[in-house]
Amino acid sequence: MAGMVWVMEGIPLLSSKIHHGLRSVDPCFRLHALQKWKAMDWNDLKYFLTLAQAKSLSAAAARLGTSPSTVSRRIEALEQALKVRLFRPHRDGYSLTEAGQSLVPEAEQAGTRMRVFERNALEAGDDLAGTVRIEAPELLGRDVLLPALIRFMEDYPAIRLELRSSVQPVRLAAEEADLVIRLVRPVRGNYRLRRVGKIRFGLYASADHVARHGIPDRPEDLHRHRVIGWTEDFAFLTMAGWLAANCPGLRPSLRLTSFTAQVEAVGMDAGWAVLPEFIAVPAGFLPGLASLPRLESDLWLLAHEQSLALPRVRLVRDHIAGILKNRFHGPKSED
């Protein structure tokens, strides 16, 4: 039977908070350790990364399906092989040493590639059967891809789809998805790119809200209206930047953390929000700030290099490319 996993918010990346800003480890140690990594068994990486994330022997053992003593022995053996302490035991569990922290990025990358390799090897004989993992922006995944992929599943019942959708862009270095849809062209990563369209954004409010409060024609008018914005931790988003650049000093009346919540709030007459055109127009929302050019963003479809060896991934990629090009006026030729 075909199946689909729908995840509205992405799963936190393994140990993503552990290694930020750590560049002070002795380069000689790093070279020695990286040479050793290449000779390590895949299980050594699994034990190291799982304990780094779980921070206790019992929690790591539960995730690995083994005993705490086995985890302890594997970590000790790894430290002896690398000739360095990777973990510091304390009363509440285990924390990474500086040396251990410095190796997390390389270990994550090696582990991810090994998981992709293992999965592809196990499923190589099933041309059009198995799982395809897709990462997409929040509303695009829900309103555009999901309906089309449900129809696709009827034609290919042996292909299982996992669709993860979030307002935050996926971290490509983790390489956890077969296919990724992004609004910003990546500069690195083991992915092949296709430009599949262009998404337009604008400032929108409900018809009832406009009837009561009018339409802002100029950016300075917006200071006299209720605006729905993003919380500070989402200030990096293109939409938030566009609003801040065109309306300096604007203080939103309501700050939210998802597009879904913003669409709902506009529908409840809460005020004006920067929304994608493909959502706002069908909903009957009315545009404001007609004097400003609309925000436009290229839409990119990324396919993992190794995953493209699987016929089912190529099939889903081509199907998604057709959906997005038709909906968002993408180029007829492949970029």
Report DSSP letters for 139-182, one per residue. Answer: HIIIIIIHHHHHHHHHH-TTEEEEEEEESSPP-GGG---SEEEE
Neighbours of 179 (CB within 10 A): 23
- Phi, psi (5° rounding) for residue 135? -115, 130
- Hey, which bits of the chain come out as E strands? 4-7, 87-90, 93-96, 130-137, 159-166, 179-182, 191-205, 228-230, 254-256, 273-276, 286-288, 295-304
Report DSSP letters for 171-238, one per residue. Answer: -GGG---SEEEESS--SSSSEEEEEEEEEEEEEEE-HHHHHHH----SGGGGGGS-BEEE-GGGTTSH
pTM for this predicted structure = 0.65
What angle do the packed helices 42-54 and 68-82 form, to 10 degrees?
110
Give the pLDDT score at 334: 55
Residue position matching structure tokens 């650049």 = 245
- Give, for all 335 residues of the chain, the pLDDT tens digit: 445 544 433 322 233 333 333 334 455 444 455 455 554 566 778 888 889 888 999 999 998 889 999 999 999 988 888 888 999 988 888 999 988 888 887 777 766 666 666 655 555 555 788 889 999 988 999 999 999 999 999 999 999 999 988 877 655 555 578 999 988 887 767 788 999 999 999 999 999 999 999 999 889 999 999 999 999 989 888 889 999 999 999 999 999 999 999 999 999 999 999 999 999 999 999 999 988 888 999 999 999 888 888 899 999 999 999 999 999 986 765 54
Instruction: Provide Rg for the chain, Cα atoms.
Output: 24
Residue 315 CA, chain-centre distance (Å), reads 22
Residue position matching structure tokens 């069908």 = 282
Residue position matching structure tokens 């500086």 = 98
Give the pLDDT score at 119: 59
Rounded Cα distance between 331 and 335, Å, is 8
Exposure b/e, 131-145, CB count within 10 A at least 16 = b: bbbbbbbbbbbbbbb
Residue 53 CA, chain-centre distance (Å), reads 19
User: Tokens at residue 98, please?
Assistant: 């500086």
Q: Evaluate whether 15 touches 106 at the Cβ level (below 8 Å).
A: no
Residue-wise pLDDT tens digits, 133-184: 999 988 999 999 999 999 999 999 999 999 988 877 655 555 578 999 988 8
